[in-house]
Amino acid sequence: MTHSNGSSIRLAAAKLQLPLTVPYRLAFGEQRQFDVLLVAVISEQGIGWGEATILPGYTDETVEDSWTIAAELSHCKTTGELKAKANAHLHLAPFTATAFLTALDWLNGHQSLKRTGRFELLGTVNGKSDKVAELEKEIEALIAKGYKTLKVKIGWEPDADLQQVDAVRRIVAGRAKMRIDGNQGYRRDQALYFLRKLNPAGVELVEQPCAAGDWDSAVALVGAGDVPLMLDESIYTLEDIDRAAKLGCADYIKLKLMKLGTLDTLEKGLRQIADRGMKAVLGNGVATDLGCWMEMCIGLDRVSTAGEMNGFLKTPVQLLAPSLRCEGATVVLDGGPKSIDLKALAHNTIERVGAWSELD
């Protein structure tokens, strides 16, 4: 049924905990699970799904705050009402709002979700340089799978981090590029020290060494080393892309769907990065296969760098049906219809609200 405020809908939201295969090391803490908000928008035309994986440090939202907003939005009765209320939360709770808005994108048959192609991913290095044998085994396995770009996490202590990068470089031996991620872990003086000491050989870029809101430090790091710089956590809106371009403080900009609300906004952001003379990196390493799939669909033929939407590889739980098909380091998108594996959903749900009786 269609009203002046859009089509009639029912909503269902679930709070999930997905275990990680191995702990994920970040400068602001070790992660052992994904805390996920999964949303279903149900109408006469079908079901649309969206997700948000809430990680403090990636967003100011907490799991509790996200769930409170989700419970509120689950009472919306029309597509127009949901869109308006989700957009009202987009500034302060972008991850939560994106779960609902991308579910609407799915429900409305967004054409990008039907695209076909192949998307190359990067591999994440979790091992540490003080356990060389384990680190070497991990890296060799990644390279054997076909990964040509490896992410190396830093942001703890600069000298130890430099040793980590050097250890990875020796093992890689020119067979892959290194993308070095600071995860906001450094003070400005530490970041300057790291960049000045860093051997640029084999390094694609250094990502977000200082805090997201510290634009002065982002500017101060320009020219400190011989490697390109990328902003990630500093970029929440399309206006932030323009700010980085105006300040000249980034060679690369990384986008995540969960910050931007809709598939169209993500696509617009990728175009904007190119228009401002910077290069785009796309993808969320802390997301389920649902969010990763949506990012790949938007990024196909629009992003030339290795994708970071590898969060779905960090957990044994896959929500999409059929599951994403991987050939080594590449995901093959066939454009076929997707749904959600309700058994996997039920097994990992810890709380839910809304019209689940229509889905059970």
Mean pLDDT of all residues in 49-65: 89
- Domains in the chain, CATH or no CATH each: 2-112+341-358 (3.30.390.10), 114-340 (3.20.20.120)
Angle at 158 between CA 154 and CA 162, to 5 degrees: 75
For residue 268, give the amino acid letter: K
- Say what the pLDDT of residue 271 is: 98
φ and ψ of 146, to 5 deg: 110, 5
pTM: 0.94
Handedness of CA 331, 337, 343, 348 (dihedral sign): positive
Residue 337: what pLDDT?
A: 92
Backbone angles phi, psi at 38, to 5 degrees: -115, 135
Pull the structure tokens for residue 267: 């696509």
Q: Which residues pair with 29 in a beta bridge?
A: 26
**Which pLDDT tens digit goes with each residue over 180-216?**
999 999 999 999 999 999 999 999 999 999 999 999 9
| 164: amino acid identity, one letter | Q
Helices (H), 122-256: 132-144, 158-172, 188-197, 215-220, 238-247
pLDDT, tens only, 319-355: 999 999 999 999 999 999 999 999 999 999 999 999 9
The Cα–Cα gap between 48 and 100 comes to 9
Contacts of 187 (CB under 8 A, 6+ apart): 210
Name the nearest CA neighbour of 145 among 118, 173, 170, 176. Answer: 176
Strand 203-207 relative to strand 330-333, pairing: unpaired
